Amino acid sequence: MNDELFAPVQRCTGQVRSLCYLLDEPTTTLTIQAGAQTITARASGQIALDLRVLLGGATICVTLHDVSPDN
């Protein structure tokens, strides 16, 4: 199999530090603080809508897939 077909995956549990979205866009950007690491992630679709109800400081567990911004 070709390893280039699989994007790197990272799992983390951390606190939501910020959420950013436009009401008319189906994308949500969030910043997660996990220990000394800060991760900025972008979600779309139903997951993005579900994230919008989180309060700042909420603790979440996420699986991040590294994809290009065009995807």
Instruction: Say if strands 9-21 and 37-44 run parallel, antiparallel, or are unpaired.
Output: unpaired
SS3 55: coil
- What pLDDT sits at residue 7? 63
Q: Which tens digit of pLDDT belongs to each residue from 29-71?
A: 989 998 898 988 889 999 899 988 887 788 999 887 777 666 5
Distance CA 35, CA 12 (A): 10
Residue 59: what residue type? T
The yes/no answer on whether domain 3-65 falls in CATH 2.40.50 is yes
The domain locations on the chain are 3-65
Q: What's the confidence (pLDDT) of residue 68? A: 67
Per-residue pLDDT band at 6 (split at 50, 70, 90): low
pTM above 0.75, yes or no: no
